[in-house]
């Protein structure tokens, strides 16, 4: 291992990491929004809504991401109609092609996570909301989605971490993301072990911060856990009067 090469490569690799983070953040945000629409369509009884949603999820979960990127980047550009269309200034750029592929791919997985989470909300909750006379929309907004968010969050954090790693495929369409920079430098100095190890450490750091971020969000939306911290007695399991009395006696 050549440590000097590893240290010297850090600034350029961090430049690549910025591209990776940019792609992942935008794809995750846009993918989340699309996924919500797809998940709700998937759960609808109207075949005109659930069938396209089913097809979308089926295609993007069932084909490799690399194939999707290549089809969008090299595939679409083969059609003169696409090259002459108003979309070409966007589809011409590898950055947009990669972002489009990542967004569609992650939205399909996220939609399935959301569908599962929405269906996991206890039936009694929905019945109670109906009993109080909430409209379906209010019910969704006030009762179902907040609970679904808590149920689906652990699975969703997994999906975002997978997205960070999958983003390394951006290097196959000429983008200088973290993997692209590592491959380019190692192609000149023939030290792939040093460069890829350094890149792996940066991926680890990104994903470590992501897991912390999701832990924080999970904590923020879990009322009972925050209450436990605010009330130390409750945290100690001393929330019943008898136990409290015993504790005071000591």
Partner 1 sequence: MSTGLKLAAAAAAAAIALSTPASAETLRIATEGAYPPFNFVDASGELQGFDVDIAKALCAAMEADCEITAQAWDGIIPGLNAGRYDAIVASMSITPERQEAVNFTEPYYQAGAVLVGPVESDIMPEPEALAGKLIGVQRASTYANLIEQRFPDAEARLYDTVENHNLDLTAGRLDGVIAQRIFMSNWLADEGEGYEMKGEAMLDPDILGLGAGIAVRKEDTELLERLDAALTQIMDDGTYDEINDRYFTVSLKPQR
Give CA–CA dist 157/209, Å, rounded: 11
Interaction mask 185-214, partner 1, x per CB under 8 A: -xxxxx-xx---------------------
Query: Which of 94, 116 has the CB closer to partner 1?
Result: 94
Stretch that binds partner 1, among 47-55, 106-114, 179-187, 210-218 (CB under 8 A): 179-187
Give CA–CA dist 66/91, Å, rounded: 17
- In angstroms, the first-to-last Cα distance of the chain is 60
Under the binding rule (CB under 8 A), the answer on residue 83 touching partner 1 is yes
Stretch that binds partner 1, among 155-163, 181-189, 199-207, 221-229 (CB under 8 A): 181-189
The residues, any chain, with a CB within 8 Å of residue 26's CB and separated by 6 or more, are 99, 103
Interaction mask 93-112, partner 1, x per CB under 8 A: -x------------------
What is the dihedral sign for C-alpha 93, 35, 166, 57? Answer: negative
Under the binding rule (CB under 8 A), the answer on residue 74 touching partner 1 is yes
Of 16, 31, 152, 180, the one binding partner 1 (CB under 8 A) is: 180
Site for partner 1 in 145-174 (CB under 8 A): 172, 174
DSSP characters over 114-163: HHHHHHTS-HHHHHHHHHTT--HHHHIIIIIHHHHHHHHHHHHHHHHHHH
Under the binding rule (CB under 8 A), the answer on residue 219 touching partner 1 is no
Under the binding rule (CB under 8 A), the answer on residue 15 touching partner 1 is no
Under the binding rule (CB under 8 A), the answer on residue 3 touching partner 1 is no
The residues, any chain, with a CB within 8 Å of residue 79's CB and separated by 6 or more, are none
Give CA–CA dist 208/11, Å, rounded: 20
Of 77, 158, 168, 207, the one binding partner 1 (CB under 8 A) is: 77
Q: Quick one: which of 18, 24, 9 has its CA closest to 160?
A: 24
Query: Which of 22, 184 has the CB closer to partner 1?
Result: 184
Contacts with partner 1 by CB under 8 A lie at 74, 77-78, 83, 92, 94, 172, 174, 176, 180, 183-184, 186-190, 192-193
């Amino acid at each position: 291992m050549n440590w000097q090469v590893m240290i010297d490569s850090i600034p350029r690799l961090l430049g690549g990491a910025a591209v990776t983070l940019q792609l992942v953040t935008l794809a995750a945000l846009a993918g989340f929004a699309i996924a919500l629409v797809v998940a709700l369509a998937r759960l609808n009884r109207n075949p005109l809504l659930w069938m396209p949603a089913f097809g979308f999820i089926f295609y993007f979960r069932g084909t490799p991401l690399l194939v999707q990127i290549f089809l969008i980047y090299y595939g679409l550009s083969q059609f003169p109609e696409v090259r002459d269309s108003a979309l070409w200034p966007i589809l011409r750029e590898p950055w947009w092609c990669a972002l489009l592929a990542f967004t569609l791919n992650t939205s399909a997985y996220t939609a399935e996570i959301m569908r599962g989470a929405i269906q996991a909300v206890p039936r009694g909750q929905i019945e109670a909301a109906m009993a109080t006379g909430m409209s379906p929309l209010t019910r969704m907004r006030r009762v179902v989605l907040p609970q679904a968010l808590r149920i689906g969050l652990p699975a969703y954090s997994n999906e975002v971490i997978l997205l960070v790693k999958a983003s390394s495929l951006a290097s196959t369409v000429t983008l200088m993301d973290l993997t692209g920079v590592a491959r380019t430098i190692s192609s000149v100095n023939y030290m792939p072990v040093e460069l890829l190890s350094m890149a792996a450490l940066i991926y680890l750091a990104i994903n470590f911060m992501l897991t912390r971020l999701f832990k924080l969000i999970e904590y923020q939306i879990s009322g009972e856990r925050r209450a436990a911290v605010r009330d130390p007695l409750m945290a100690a399991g001393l929330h019943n009067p008898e136990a409290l009395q015993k504790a005071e006696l000591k």
